[in-house]
């Protein structure tokens, strides 16, 4: 009893002082290795004035220290990039960078940027290829988050606790499509004004400890460094110490290191450098344990510059859960019939959260799809197939699950047709790769799907029987890969349903798709609402 009482008193004292060590979320079975890379690694940092000071040799000295650790550093600043996207680095702007119809344009520029926009020493030679590490940070005004410390994620971007959580939940699916990149979130620095200090503290603790866990994110390519915390107290840390990562909170929630305004001082910035660089090395070494090869190796020596397929972690099989908007799903329909097709995530209608709502009204001999195309080819060869759930409100329809491989100009379509049974319950489906066959309107019709290592997209598709229509509403949820070490989807209700399994041959409607659709298919797709 005496030992128990002493332990309780010790913990109480720590809580009163505010010196509390927390355990940031990291995937299991990961060693702490703070050694720098053994070769030059390209890194780019998205920032404004605080980041510029942090990088500068005569201020935070981050740029030179990263250079000494084998990182070839580039950065962006005001005015940078397509549409001057570099001007916009507030928390609500990150959805424009990472979850927007122009994301591929911005990321192409970002991945290939190799210039300096701040004053720091760079002695390493550019090794060629794309930036592998993407660091991004908002400035101190973003610590003025309104709302309440424990607010849950909201439904749109704004400078509130809930709005900021929404932003980071919304951009996470993009990071999952790029396991060949390491994304480092740098928390926004604190303000001297304490009005919203508790909100800022709570939000940044959520980013470090809860964000990835709540989203069941198990890839190694996303990490958070608590720049905010380090600047609130001399005893606050986010560092590697004695082979362990420490996230120690101080007794303040406001800026301890001012410079005459809310820009962190030289002392605070150099403290952040001292703690960040070993942490970055840990993040990098963890990521490289399972990461693919760089997407664009140096072509100056004749190396192949074809992008490598991006393998998914064998323990991270979720493709789409529709909890965070996942804006890359788009509806398309043909131009030759009055067919209509819409699809969008719908809150609260999924098995445990949101689902993808598909409304389709396909005219006779027409077609429509709801498609999701990846920014780079995905390597699903280590998986056995796909699993998902759907719930129909139209009882007489059927639909296809389409997989795409190849470039836009030479896209190959492989599909599997599902006949909807007479039920309004959630229906589990498990499909093996051998179930998918080449579409009947393409060459090598009915050829088995053998390109699991270069999947460029997928879709839910609708066609019609000859001279008939196909209309209704279907919801889809929890699309995952069937991995050897993962459990298949199971129903959460007490009713047991048999998985929907039909012939792998294309449905009859697919046999009468007009030959015109065979011509560069993607260039003929009509986005709904244009």
Domain spans of the chain? 26-288, 318-527
pLDDT at 220 over 80: yes
What average pLDDT does range 316-343 have in this prediction?
A: 79
The pLDDT value given to residue 30: 52
Structure-token pair, residue 39: 């070769």
The alpha helices in 26-155, defined as continuous H runs, are: 49-55, 62-68, 94-98, 103-112
User: Does 318-527 carry CATH code 3.40.50.170?
Assistant: no
The pLDDT value given to residue 258: 92
Q: Are 399 and 430 in contact (CB under 8 A)?
A: no
Structure-token pair, residue 375: 């920014």
One DSSP character per residue, 255-292 reads -SS-SSSSS--HHHHHHHHHHHHHHHHHHHHHHHTTPP
What average pLDDT does range 338-349 have in this prediction?
A: 87
Angle at 383 between CA 379 and CA 389, to 5 degrees: 110
User: Other C-beta atoms within 10 Å of 340: how many?
Assistant: 17
Q: Which has more confidence, 356 or 183?
A: 183
pLDDT in tens, 458-471: 999 988 888 888 88
One DSSP character per residue, 451-491 reads -TT-EEEEEEEE--STT--EEEEEEEEEEEEEETTSPPP--
- What contacts 308, CB < 8 A, 6 or more positions away? 180, 292, 293, 294, 295
What average pLDDT does range 380-389 have in this prediction?
A: 87
The pLDDT value given to residue 31: 62
Using the Cα atoms of residue 98, residue 103, residue 107 and residue 110 in order, give the sign of their dihedral.
Answer: negative
What average pLDDT does range 127-135 have in this prediction?
A: 96
What average pLDDT does range 484-490 have in this prediction?
A: 43
Average pLDDT along the chain: 81
pLDDT in tens, 57-106: 999 999 999 999 999 999 999 999 999 999 999 999 999 999 998 999 99
The pLDDT value given to residue 236: 96
In terms of pTM, does the model score above 0.75? no
Q: Which residues pair with 45 in a beta bridge?
A: 75, 135
The pLDDT value given to residue 526: 34
Please tell me the least confidently modeled range out of 10-14, 135-139, 250-254.
10-14
Residue 521 pLDDT level (bands cut at 50, 70, 90) = very low
- What contacts 13, CB < 8 A, 6 or more positions away? none
DSSP 448: B
What average pLDDT does range 303-308 have in this prediction?
A: 34
Residue 11 pLDDT level (bands cut at 50, 70, 90) = very low
Residue 326 pLDDT level (bands cut at 50, 70, 90) = low
Residue 498 pLDDT level (bands cut at 50, 70, 90) = very low
What average pLDDT does range 132-149 have in this prediction?
A: 97
pLDDT at 287 over 70: yes
The pLDDT value given to residue 172: 93
CA distances to 24, 217, 257, 452 from 484, in Å:
29, 19, 51, 15
Please tell me the least confidently modeled range out of 181-195, 200-214, 269-283, 416-430.
416-430
Q: Which fold has domain 26-288?
A: Rossmann fold (3.40.50)
């Amino acid at each position: 009893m005496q030992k128990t009482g002493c332990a309780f008193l010790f913990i109480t004292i720590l809580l009163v002082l505010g010196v509390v060590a927390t355990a940031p979320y990291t995937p299991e079975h990961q060693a702490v290795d703070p050694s720098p890379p053994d070769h030059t690694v390209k890194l780019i940092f998205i920032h404004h004035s605080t980041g510029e000071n942090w990088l500068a040799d005569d201020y935070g000295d981050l740029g030179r220290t990263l250079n000494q650790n084998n990182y070839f550093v580039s950065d962006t600043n005001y005015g940078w990039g397509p549409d001057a996207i570099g001007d916009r680095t507030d928390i609500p702007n990150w959805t424009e960078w990472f979850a927007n119809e122009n994301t591929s344009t911005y990321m192409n520029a970002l991945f290939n940027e190799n210039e300096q926009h701040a004053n720091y020493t760079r002695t390493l030679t550019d090794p060629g290829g794309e930036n592998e590490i993407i660091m991004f940070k908002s400035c101190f005004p973003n610590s003025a988050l309104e709302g309440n410390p424990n607010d849950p994620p909201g439904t749109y971007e704004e400078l509130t606790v809930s709005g900021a959580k929404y932003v980071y939940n919304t951009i996470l699916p993009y990071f999952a499509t790029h396991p060949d990149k390491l994304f480092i979130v740098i928390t926004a620095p604190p303000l001297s004004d304490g009005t919203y200090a508790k909100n800022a503290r709570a939000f940044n603790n959520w980013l470090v400890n809860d964000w990835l866990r709540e989203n069941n994110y198990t890839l190694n390519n996303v990490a958070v460094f608590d720049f905010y915390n380090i600047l609130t107290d001399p005893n606050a840390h986010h560092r590697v110490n004695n082979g362990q990562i420490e996230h120690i909170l101080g007794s303040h929630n406001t800026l301890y290191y001012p410079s005459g305004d809310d820009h962190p001082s030289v002392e605070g910035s150099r403290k952040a450098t001292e703690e960040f660089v070993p942490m970055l090395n840990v993040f990098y070494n963890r990521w490289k344990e399972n990461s693919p090869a760089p997407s664009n190796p140096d072509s100056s020596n004749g190396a192949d510059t074809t992008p490598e397929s991006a393998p998914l972690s064998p323990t991270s099989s979720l493709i789409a859960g529709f909890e965070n908007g996942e804006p890359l799903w788009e509806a398309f329909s043909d131009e030759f019939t009055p067919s209509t097709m819409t699809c969008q995530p719908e809150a609260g209608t999924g098995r445990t959260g949101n689902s993808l709502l598909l409304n389709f009204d396909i005219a006779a001999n027409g077609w429509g799809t709801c498609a999701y195309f990846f920014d780079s080819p995905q390597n699903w060869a280590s998986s056995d197939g796909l699993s998902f759930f759907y719930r129909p409100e139209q009882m007489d329809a059927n639909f296809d699950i389409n997989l795409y491989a190849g470039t836009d100009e030479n896209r190959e379509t492989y599909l599997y047709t599902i006949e909807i049974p007479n039920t309004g319950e959630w229906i589990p489906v498990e499909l093996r790769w051998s179930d998918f066959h080449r579409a009947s309107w393409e060459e090598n019709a009915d050829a088995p799907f053998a390109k699991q290592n270069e999947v460029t997209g997928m879709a839910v598709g609708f066609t019609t029987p000859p001279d008939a229509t196909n209309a209704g509403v279907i919801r889809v949820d929890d699309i995952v890969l069937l991995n050897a070490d993962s459990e298949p989807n199971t129903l959460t209700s007490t009713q047991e349903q048999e998985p929907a399994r039909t012939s792998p041959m294309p449905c009859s409607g697919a046999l009468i798709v007009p030959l015109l659709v065979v011509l560069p298919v993607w260039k003929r797709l009509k986005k709904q609402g244009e």
